[in-house]
Every structure is written in structure tokens, then in C-alpha cells.
Homo-oligomer: A and B are copies of this chain.
Amino acid sequence: MAHISFSRRLRRTPFTAGVEAAGVKAFTVYNRMLLPTVFESPEADYRHLKQHVQVWDVSCERQVELRGPDAGRLMQMLTPRDLRGKLPGQCFYVPIVDETGGMLNDPVAVKLSEDQYWISIADSDLLLWVKGIANGYRLDVLVDEPDVSPLAVQGPKADELLSRVFGDRVRDIRFFKFDMFEFGGRDLAIARSGYSKQGGFEIYVDGTEIGMPLWNRLFEAGADLNVRAGCPNLIERIESGLLSYGNDMTDDNTPHECGLGRFCDTQTAIGCIGRDALLRVAKEGPVQQIRPLAIGGDPVGPCDRPWSLVAGGNRVGQVTSAAWSPDFKTNVSIGMVRITHWDPGTELTVETPYGPRTAVVQDGFWN
């Protein structure tokens, strides 16, 4: 077990002091920022998330802000999803692709107004791609990283907790919509979204200085709800089929390989930089795709490098996320599998550091 060496380069967040006081045991680094990974244990954190409510420091979901008359045009250049008809107040999951159709990020876009968007990014410096495109195409748009740090509130008691702090109007926010709420003299966007399937919200905390006051207010308001500091949970996110950019997909993959074809309107997404490259794969389909796989035997994971999937002596894919699921009593995993072997029920061999195991393609994720 190795330690992490802290430095300014691994940025602290507005909530890191709270995370440390809550007894964080491990971090990962995400967008050059600290992201907690374990408080009590992955299994205990998982159980608590499914039963109660947690506050997650997901500041590492940095925002790329587009502001100006060309903001909408630029947003459409970035993604094969057709954004016509999207309204202010909506969030939308947008695969971001380069000119070859390779995934550069899989963020959630937040439409604040016709000329202002936030792109809430996964783990790549998407800011630099967006700035480069805006500069090269001479667009009238400002592109920057604002001082906005998402704080997620996740779990079955999330509605109750947030309504105590922001009022019952939070209960009316629909999935992937947001509304504005006041805290500490600031207007904050709160969306019904988050990186779990246990329900909850993401608060776009606008201004570092209100970070710890909000953190503390949530813990005061939720004491009797058994609120705890938490973090995206590896087990729960695999059960739920929530992909992780950099783990389950990279810029080698198209959105269609990632099973994100439903978020692509390649025919009509006029202006998207990767559109031409994706037209063929959008029509004919990919030759490999993300699949859930159940891995047999004792608990395995985490997956710190791709584990080969093998059939008949040939490599037919790889597993990139894996964990033992206490609820489903199997190792849940996410892999990229070739078309010849991706049908549900197909039995493959996965080469883990713990030796070869059987891996059976599932017909759906677990949650």
C-alpha cells in the first residue's frame, strides 16, 4: 500500500478540510485535484450510501465555462449529441469527441442560458481542447475554469437532507434538471444528478469561501439522518453501470464502443468536429463495446491495469473496473468486449493478478 505525496499541484478543494476531519483514508487524483476514495472501508461506505445519505466532495468535476455569443455553437462543435431544443435549466450528458471520433471526455453539460454553459468534466484537461478549438476557429466566446466546485449529496435520504437546508422546492427538481437556490448570499445551481444510482443532487458551489460553511450546515442538518462524508463508491458505480473515463474508456474509443450511441445524433449534430469520423460507426455499429461481466470465484480488484479477456486462446477484450459486490455476491466488472463474444451468457476467461477466472457477459448492469 503506497502513500500519496501531497503538493500544491494535487489541488485541495474548498471541502478538503472537512474531508480530512471526517477521517478520509485514501485519495485518488482527478483533474489534478484530490478526490477521496475511502472513509471507513469501500464495503462500509457502500452499505451506508445505499441506506442513508452522504456528502461527497466532487470538486474535481471541474467546470469548463463557455460564455459569449458563440457559446452554443462551440458546445455543438464538441459533441455528436444534437443540442437543438435544449433549454436553460437542463443538464445533459455529452460525449466529447475529437476529429477522429475518439472520446476526449464524457461530461455533463449545464445550460445556464443561451450564451453560458458549464461543462462538468471527467478526468482530462478538456479546458485545453476547448480553448484550442475556440482560438483556432476564432469564436466569440470566453473559455475558462470558474471557481465552482460540485458537492454531491447522494443516497435515499438526500431529498430530506437538502430540503432541510434549501427548502422543499428541492424536491421538485426533476432528474437532470437544475434550479437556483440561495446560500451564504450566493445563488447556487442544484441539479438532480450524481455519480450513483441511489438518488440525490449535485450542488454547484460557486465560490470557495462558502464551501466549508455549506459542508458544515449539511452535517448539522443531517445528524439524525446519519449523514456521513462519502465519495463515489467503486462497488456501487460498477453495479450501476456508471462508466469512468480513463478507466473504462479512453481517447482510443468511440462513443458507440462505450455504449453511448443513444447520446449521439450523428446525422443531425451539424458542426460537431468528430461527426464525419463517426457517421460510419453510427450506422454500422462498433466492433467492440462495453459490457457488464460477472467474474467468478473469490473477491478480486481493484483493477489497476486492463485485465485481458480471452476465449479459445485469443484476446477478445479487457476488463477495466472490478470489485466484489456484497449485495450481488459476485465480482461485478466492466469490460470492453469484441462483437464475436459480447452476447449475454458468453463465458470468457479473464486474466486477473489472482489467476485466470471465468467472466460471464451479463444482459444488464446490476442496479
Contacts and interface: CB of A to CB of B under 8 A. Distances in A.
A311 interface: no
A128 B104 contact: yes
Interface stretch (A119-127, A181-189, A194-202, A343-351): A119-127
A223 interface: no
A26 B132 CA distance: 35
A246 interface: yes
Interface string A1-19: 1111111111010000000
Give the dominant DSSP class at A's interface: loop
A28 interface: yes
A319 B131 CA distance: 29
B5 A302 contact: yes
Interface residues of A toward B: which range?
35 or more
A44 to B, nearest CB: 15
A9 B129 contact: no
Contacts of A7: 28, 244, 246-247, 302-304, 321
A7 B234 CA distance: 10
Interface of A: 1-10, 12, 24-30, 32, 37-38, 98-99, 104, 123-126, 128-137, 244-247, 273, 302-306, 320-321
5 shortest interchain CB distances as A-B pairs: A136-B136, A132-B132, A9-B246, A125-B125, A29-B29
